[in-house]
Structure 1
Amino acid sequence: MNDTAGQPSPARAAALPTRFTELVGIEYPIVQTGMGWVSGPSLTAATSNAGGLGILASATMTYDELVAAIAKTKSLTDKPFGVNIRADATDAPQRIDLLIREQVKVASFALAPKQDLIAKLKDHGVVVVPSIGAAKHAVKVASWGADAVIVQGGEGGGHTGPVATTLLLPSVLDGLSDNGFDMPVVAAGGFFDGRGLAAALAYGAAGVAMGTRFLLTSDSAVPDSVKQQYLGRGLTDTVVSRKVDGMPHRVLRTPLIEALESGNAVTALVAAARNANEFKQLTGMRWTAMLRDGRAMRRSGERTWQQIIMAGNTPMLLRAGLVEGNTDAGVLASGQVVGMIEDLPSCNDLVQTIMSQAHERLKALGALG
C-alpha cells in the first residue's frame, strides 16, 4: 500500500506528557527534523497541528526566504514550531534575531551555537535544542546552557556517526547524568512507529525525532515520483558515503552514488566546486562569506579544504533529487528506516497512529511490571 488517501483517520490519541513536551509546549513527544529542501512551512505546520513539533529547515534558505517561511508557517498553525539554523553561517546572529522577533518557540542546530548566542536565545524565551552525535558533545552543549538535545544514531539519514541509536542513546543519557546534567534527550535514527517511541521512552529519552518518516507523508512537498523511489527500498538499500561532501552522509543507493563511490576523486572535486558555486548563487551567499566559514572550519580542525569545497555539493545534489525530482542526477538522503515504510499518511494520521501504538505498548509493558 503506497497511500492512505480515502481511509478513515485514526481516533485522537491521549496526550503523553514528557519533560520535552512540557519544555516546548506540545502534546506528543514527536519531532519532525529540519530537512533541507523538505521541511518547509506546509510540512512543519502539519506536524505541529498534529500535536508534535515541526521544524523549518533554514540552511537552504536565504534570509528573506526564511522571513517568508516563518510568516507562512505562522499563518498555517498557532502551535509551537522550531527553526533549524546553521550555527556556523555568517548570518546566524541575524537569523537568531529573527527567531526572537517572531517569537519562534525552538531554535535547533546541527552544530552547537556559541554560548553567547545560546544565552541570548534563552533570555528571550527561545528553547535551544542542538543535535549531537556523542556523549561528550551532549555534555559540552549542556554546560553551555542548551535546554535539550537531539541525539542521532547511525541509522539516521544525513550526516551521522557509526554508533547505533540503541547504544548512543544510553551513552548520552549516562554521560549527562555522570556529569551532573539533567536535560531532556530526544532520540533520532531508526524511528517510525509507536513501538520505537515506547522503546526510546524506556531507555530514558523524552521523545523521538524522525526525518525520513515525515518526508514520506502526503504533507511533504517532495515529488510523488521521488516518494515512490523511497517506498520501493529495503533495509539494505542505503549507504553511508563520504563521496558526496567528504563527511559521512546516509543516502539511498542510486547509480549516481555508485558512480561517486567508485569514481575519480579529481572529477568529483571539480563537480563539487561547480555545485558549490551554484549553491552560492541560489542562496545569495558571498564567496567571502564561504571562505570565512571555510577558514573557521580549518582552524577548528573540523574539515580539510577539499571537504569544505565538497560541502557545497550536498545542497545542490539534494535539491536535484528532492525538489526537482531528478533521481538520476540528485542525491536522496535517507535513514535505514526507509525499508520499514510502506505508505504516505498525512502528518496527523501518522502522529495519531504512532501515539495509539505507543500507548498500547506502554500499557502492555506496565502489565508486565
Structure 2
Amino acid sequence: MIEQLLRTPLTELTGVRHPVVQTGMGWVAGPRLVSGTANAGGLGILASATMTYDELDHAIREVKGRTAEPFGVNLRADAADAPRRVDLLIEHGVKVASFALAPKPELIGKLKDHGIVVMPSVGAARHAEKVAGWGADLVMIQGGEGGGHTGSVPTTLLLPSVLDAVDIPVVAAGGFFDGRGLAAALAYGAAGVGMGTRFLLTQDSSVPEAVKRLYLSYGLDGTVVTSKVDGMPHRMLRTDLVEEVESGGRLRRLAPTARRTMEFKKASGMSWRQVAVDGRAMKKAGERSWGQMVLAANTPTMLKSGLVDGDTDAGVLAAGQVVGLLDDLPTCEELVDRVVTEAAERVGALARLQA
C-alpha cells in the first residue's frame, strides 16, 4: 500500500488517499469490492439500484465492518424511496452520495447539511451546470467508451466541455484503466478518474471467475452499444445473446421482457404500484416512451444472470471498451498502487519537459 502521491480536489473533498474512483456498477459493486477499493486508498462506490432498502442497510453495515476508510453509495435519484435512502446514508455517516441521474435540489441540500459529499454523474455540460447550480460538490462524467448506459460523446471531448462549463471538480470516467489515463485526465484538469470495467476485473470483484475470464478474452472490437436491451444506449460485450437481441424485432422481445419484469419485481420486493411509480419517474426524467420503459425491465435480471449467476448464455455483460486492453486480475490494492504510481511518474515526466 503506497502513500499519497497525488493531491487533488477529489482527495481533499472525500478524504481518500488517491484520486481513483471505483464506479457503482449494479450487481458488481458490493461490499467486498467497495471495501477492497477503500482499503487500497481509492473511493469505492456501493451500487444500490439493484438492492432493496433492507439490503442496502445490510450492505452499508458490511462495508463499515470491513473498512474504516471513506466510501460512497450510488443512488437512483428517480427511485420512489430515494428520500428514505438518503436518510439511511445520513444515519450511517456515509461519506459520498453519487447519483446516476440529477438529484432534486432538496436532496442535495439535505445531504450537504449532514456533511455528505454529493457527486452526480452527468453526460453533458448543461447537466453539469444544472447540478452545480443546485449545490453538487463535484460531478462525474462518462464518455462513450464507458460500459453500461453511455452516451455518444468520447471522454476526450466530453471532459473539456464540462470542465469549461463548471467551477466544481470533475471526475472523468470512460476509457480509463491505468496510470497513463489518470495522468492524462489530471492534465486536462480533472480531479481524478472513475473506473468500472477495470475494477470489475479484479480479485476483489465478486463476479464469477469464469465470467471474468470471458471478459479477458475479448478484444477492442468486443463491445457493442445497443438500445434493444432496455431502450437506452447500453455498451456491453458482443455475446451470442446480444447479437440475437440486436437482430430480433420488438414483438419477438415482448414475451421475454414481460417475464423479466415479473422476475425483477419478485427479486426487488417491489409492489406493482412501486414498479409503476418508478416507471413513471424514469419516464419523466429520461423522456422515454412506455415501450422503452417496458424494455428497461430487461436490464436488472439479464445483468444479474451474467454478473451474479455466471450464466453467460442467458445474461448481458456490461463492459467498457477498455476490456480489450486488459489481461490480468489484480487485487484492488495492486491495481490502485500501480495506477497511482505510474500516474505520478508521468506527471513528473511532464513537469520536466518545461524549459
CA RMSD of aligned residues (A): 1.0
Give the one of 80, 102, 109 matched to 2:99. 109
Instruction: Measure, in 1, the Cα distance between the counterparts of 2:252 and 2:57.
Output: 37
Report if aligned partners of 1:37, 1:323 keep a CA contact under 8 Å in 2: yes
Deviations 1:102-121 (A, max 9, x none): 00000000011100011000
Q: How does 1:108-257 map to 2 (within 5 A)?
A: 108-176=98-166, 182-257=167-242
Instruction: Measure, in 2, the Cα distance between the counterparts of 1:165 and 1:293.
Output: 30
Instruction: Measure, in 2, the Cα distance between the counterparts of 1:248 and 1:264.
Output: 17
1:280 equivalenced with 2:270 (yes/no) = no
Q: How does 1:1-369 map to 2 (within 5 A)?
A: 12-176=2-166, 182-300=167-285, 302-369=287-354
Report if aligned partners of 2:120, 2:136 keep a CA contact under 8 Å in 1: yes
* Aligned-partner residue type, residue 11 of structure 2: T
* Aligned-partner residue type, residue 330 of structure 2: P
Report if aligned partners of 2:216, 2:326 keep a CA contact under 8 Å in 1: yes
Deviates more, 1:301-310 or 1:257-266: 301-310
Number of corresponding residues: 354
* Aligned-partner residue type, residue 187 of structure 1: A
Instruction: Measure, in 2, the Cα distance between the counterparts of 1:213 and 1:175.
Output: 28
Provide TM-score, normalisation by structure 2.
0.98
Instruction: Measure, in 1, the Cα distance between the counterparts of 2:295 and 2:83.
Output: 25
* Aligned-partner residue type, residue 213 of structure 1: R
Instruction: Measure, in 2, the Cα distance between the counterparts of 1:71 and 1:273.
Output: 34
Report if aligned partners of 1:13, 1:352 keep a CA contact under 8 Å in 2: no
Percent identical: 65
Instruction: Measure, in 2, the Cα distance between the counterparts of 1:269 and 1:59.
Output: 24
Instruction: Measure, in 2, the Cα distance between the counterparts of 1:137 and 1:84.
Output: 18
Instruction: Measure, in 1, the Cα distance between the counterparts of 2:283 and 2:79.
Output: 15
Report if aligned partners of 1:269, 1:306 keep a CA contact under 8 Å in 2: no
Provide TM-score, normalisation by structure 1.
0.94
Instruction: Measure, in 1, the Cα distance between the counterparts of 2:285 and 2:20.
Output: 33
List gaps (5 residues or longer) in structure 2.
Answer: none
List gaps (5 residues or longer) in structure 1.
Answer: 1-10, 177-181
Residue 280 of structure 1 and its aligned partner are, at CA, apart by 1.0
* Aligned-partner residue type, residue 97 of structure 1: D
Report if aligned partners of 1:62, 1:284 keep a CA contact under 8 Å in 2: yes
Structure 1 stretches of 4+ moved >4 Å: none
Deviations 1:132-189 (A, max 9, x none): 000000001001111100000000001110000000000111122xxxxx21100000
Secondary structure of 1:368's aligned partner: coil
Residue 16 of structure 1 and its aligned partner are, at CA, apart by 1.0
